[in-house]
Structure 1
Amino acid sequence: MNELYPVFLKVAQLNTLIVGAGNVGLEKLSFLLKSSPNAQVTIVAKEISPEIKKIADQSDAIALVEDSYKEKYLNGRHIVIGATDDKDVNKQIHLDAKARNLLVNIADTPALCDFYLGGIVTKGNVKIAISTNGKSPTTAKRLRQLLEEIIPEDINEMVENIHLYRDTLKGDFEYKVEALNKLTKELLVKN
């Protein structure tokens, strides 16, 4: 049973820490930036890959700290991602983050995760997140590819037009919901 609660975080307004700057750290950073190019991220690692340095050079929202993990790096954070190749360090990151009530994800260790970074489809203002409950990231990837193909490219235009229409509606909340439900049902059936 998948008991995950889907949520969309405004990571440009939160402080994210990634510990580890190798291939896994790069993957986690790239995923964050794909969804939110202005995500506030600090990366701590003894060695930082050239790819991560290049990305950080292009953003004022990314800070690099060349150091081994220390608990002090959790100060002021909301989200923590452990992406080192040292299981003991990753376990310590998890313990320290949980002691501070921070949301934590330890790469490739579902038992030490409060959240997963699933597949995401983005078409303008439309964003769909896909989760396999940490069981099969490749399945989430394939579903993402399928949805990217079948969702029309002009979906964002439809969303913008519905937003404008919503602003013209008069009446109470219930009336507006009913009118928008009727409109979107007709639009989606026609496509």
Structure 2
Amino acid sequence: MKKNFLPIAINISGEKILIVGGDQSAWKKLQILQRYGAEVEVLAKKVCSGIKQSGVTFFEEAYHSKFLKGYLMLYSCTNNETLDRQIESDCRAAGVLVNIHDNPALCQFVSPAIYRNGNISVAVSSNGEDVYESIRLRNEIREFFN
């Protein structure tokens, strides 16, 4: 079934969010989430230096569903489809919203390309189908406001 994502704004300030994966895509996602005041934690066998130096709690361990308790949402940045499918299934069972990096078919939500200036945020979403076009349009909006 084709996904049809509803663009919404959600308050994540103070909410616990787990990122599974510790590479550069996880580091970029962490930086975005920190701008919105989320309490982000990272779980991965190996965590990049940017994450280690960010001040967030990280666990250098393999993924297990026992880690899901207490999180509002999870971003999987593992680039491992078998593991991502397990994470998606576990999150749904645990009531944790799940986003699988670069795999909208497994996502409950997708993150739009965001331009933020003060209290104004503009989000561009392609329903998870054309991320680069969303980014291009977001950049045009940024240029318009600057």
TM-score normalised to the size of structure 2?
0.92
Q: 2:71 aligns with which of 71, 77, 83?
A: 77
Q: CA RMSD in A?
A: 1.6
C-alpha distance in structure 2 between counterparts of 1:91 and 1:4, whole Å: 19
Residue 121 of structure 1 aligns to a residue in which SS? strand
Instruction: Report how many aligned residue pairs link the two structures.
Output: 145
Match of 1:20 in 2: 21
Amino acid at match of 1:78: L
Amino acid at match of 1:70: H
CA offsets 1:38-96 (integer angstroms, 9 cap, x no match): 2111100011001111222xxxxx21111000111100011011111322111111010
Residue 55 of structure 1 aligns to a residue in which SS? coil
Amino acid at match of 1:150: F
Q: Given the alignment of the two structures, is residue 138 of structure 1 paired with residue 137 of structure 2, yes or no?
A: no
Contact 2:69 2:94 in 1 (8 A): no
Q: Which runs of 5+ in 1 are unaligned?
A: 57-61, 154-191
User: Which structure is richer in relative contact order (CA contacts within 8 A, separation 6 or more)?
Assistant: 2
Higher relative strand content: 2
Amino acid at match of 1:28: K
Pairs within 5 Å for 1:156-175? none
Match of 2:143 in 1: 149
Q: 2:80 aligns with which of 86, 94, 114?
A: 86
C-alpha distance in structure 2 between counterparts of 1:11 and 1:69, whole Å: 23
The structure 1 segments of at least 4 consecutive aligned residues displaced by more than 4 Å after TM superposition are: none
C-alpha distance 90-2 of structure 1, shift in aligned 2 (>3 A): closer
C-alpha distance in structure 1 between counterparts of 2:27 and 2:130, whole Å: 20
C-alpha distance in structure 2 between counterparts of 1:7 and 1:69, whole Å: 29
C-alpha distance in structure 1 between counterparts of 2:81 and 2:57, whole Å: 24
C-alpha distance in structure 2 between counterparts of 1:67 and 1:111, whole Å: 26
Amino acid at match of 2:9: F
- Which of structures 1 and 2 has the bigger CA Rg? 1
Pairs within 5 Å for 1:27-38? 27-34=28-35, 36=36, 38=37
Q: Which runs of 5+ in 2 are unaligned?
A: none
Match of 1:157 in 2: none
